[in-house]
Structure 1
Amino acid sequence: MSDRLKLVVFDCDGTLIDSQHMIAAAMSHAFTKHEMEPLPREQVLSIVGLSLDEAIATLVPHVEAPKRDELTLAYKDAFFELRKRADLVEPLFEGARAALEGLYAIDHVLMGVATGKSQRGLRHALEAHGLGRYFMTLQTADDAPSKPHPEMLRRAIREAGVEPADTVLVGDTTYDMEMARAAGAYALGVDWGYHEVDTLRRAGAGKVLTHFDELLPALDRLWAAETPTG
């Protein structure tokens, strides 16, 4: 493995943390509050990864902007309240903590997060799971345009002081894969999130993981292939 500095950036919802129950419940509350029929769960989960404003606009493009703004605020309020409920949890995906520990132990590997969450939402999620110490850069919808625009990842790359070619984005949606490719990074998909494997591959995933145990070996192979031999 090359000892050149590397950066691994993770999506949050659907990649590190299983947020589907909270997201679906908050969206249902928001629609119900405004006397709108809640959308099917699969449709709601399809927009996970986008910034909230962009997600609402994608879900209800026919609704005028002021009403969409009201839905956005209602979602935020509902999400805040739902965090207090013991029956709605956001667990880490199996193997996530061990994978982060393994990468954290490698001197020339830095880690970050790029997510459609707000900074407040992301920091709350990381604090809840004790993950904050792993990441040197946190990029959110507060800081850059929504995925798949590459600026969020470009900011992470600049903060880490690495090259795009030495950067890997790990995510579960086509928005993640497209963002990585647009930023010149390697796109690594996961199959336990909210978009189908075939769509991840079509969006540019170089590989799709089936379990977090596969992450470090996949990175080893990727980085070894970049190292000249002989």
Structure 2
Amino acid sequence: MKRLVIFDCDGTLVDGQAAICDTMDEAFAAARLPSPDRNEVRRMVGLSLPQALRQLAPGATDDQRDIALDAYKSGYRDRRFKGTLEEPLYDGMAELIDRLVDAGWLLAVATGKSDRGLHSCLDMHGIKHHFISLQTADRHPSKPHPSMIEQALAEADVASDCAVMIGDTTFDIEMARAAGVRAIGVAWGYHEPSELLEAGAQGVAGTMQELEDMINAGA
């Protein structure tokens, strides 16, 4: 029987909050908008960029949001090309991925990143070959819409009751529930464990070992 683990990226696999917040500051400056609160930026991680901008700048004009969106994309791309983009894997994540693969789990990613951003991130860490399905905001509605999970299930040919979503935000948990898959939260990301549990997470892992145990407990 095939089993699938679907990971969120930012806040779950990698810690990209510094790059995200710095680039968002630059994007807002380009659009002549006041800098957003950094905690609010972190809480928007996981949403598609247009939806995040609508929530971070509700009073902005459409033109301002378009400018901010383009500036964010170009700023993030420039960081990547210059080698200054910092998106470190969380400690122990690479080893956990190896153990899950060895145990027979198929792996996927469902993220608010772009295709280019996700591929670059996974390539940088040398782990892209482990993932059978990569779903991004370029081809799907924003989380918590279940489209990304549904496509990952289809590409992996795995039933919803044989899959689990791993994420750090309520958007991830709500997406999993909408798709009918099990959801596990992680405590090292951008939303509080209590919020993840309230959203419907089966549990919230504080360590990689706890996460591995929770994944396997429902296998």
TM above 0.5, yes or no, is yes
2:171 pairs with one of 171, 175, 179: 175
Structure 1 residue 90 and structure 2 residue 90: aligned? no
Distance in 2 (alpha carbons) for counterparts of 1:119 and 1:15 = 17
Distance in 2 (alpha carbons) for counterparts of 1:216 and 1:195 = 20
What are the Cα deviations for residues 32-83 of structure 1, in whole angstroms up to 9, with x where unaligned?
Answer: 1222211111011110000111111111122122221111001111111223
The alignment yields a C-alpha RMSD, in angstroms, of 1.2
Distance in 2 (alpha carbons) for counterparts of 1:40 and 1:102 = 38
Of stretches 84-93 and 7-16 in structure 1, the one that deviates more from structure 2 is: 84-93
Q: Which residue of 2 aligns with 1:226?
A: none
Given that 2:76 and 2:85 are in contact with CA atoms closer than 8 Å, whether structure 1 keeps it comes out as no
What are the Cα deviations for residues 158-210 of structure 1, in whole angstroms up to 9, with x where unaligned?
Answer: 11111111110000000000000000000100000000111111111101000
Give 1:86 shift: 5.8
Q: Which residue of 2 aligns with 1:154?
A: 150
Taking structure 1 as the reference length, what is the TM-score of the superposition?
A: 0.92
What are the Cα deviations for residues 7-31 of structure 1, in whole angstroms up to 9, with x where unaligned?
Answer: 1000000000000000000000111
Asked which structure has the greater CA Rg, the reply is: 1
In structure 1, the gaps of 5 or more residues are 224-230
Given that 1:21 and 1:88 are in contact with CA atoms closer than 8 Å, whether structure 2 keeps it comes out as no
Given that 1:169 and 1:187 are in contact with CA atoms closer than 8 Å, whether structure 2 keeps it comes out as yes
Q: What amino acid is the match of 1:92?
A: L
Q: What amino acid is the match of 1:221?
A: A
Q: Which residue of 2 aligns with 1:9?
A: 6
Distance in 2 (alpha carbons) for counterparts of 1:91 and 1:220 = 25
Distance in 2 (alpha carbons) for counterparts of 1:133 and 1:126 = 9
Taking structure 2 as the reference length, what is the TM-score of the superposition?
A: 0.96
Alignment of 1:23-172 (within 5 A): 23-84=20-81, 88-107=85-104, 109-172=105-168
Give 1:220 shift: 2.1
What are the Cα deviations for residues 83-115 of structure 1, in whole angstroms up to 9, with x where unaligned?
Answer: 3566652110011001100011123x2100000
1:196 pairs with one of 182, 185, 192: 192
Q: What amino acid is the match of 1:209?
A: A
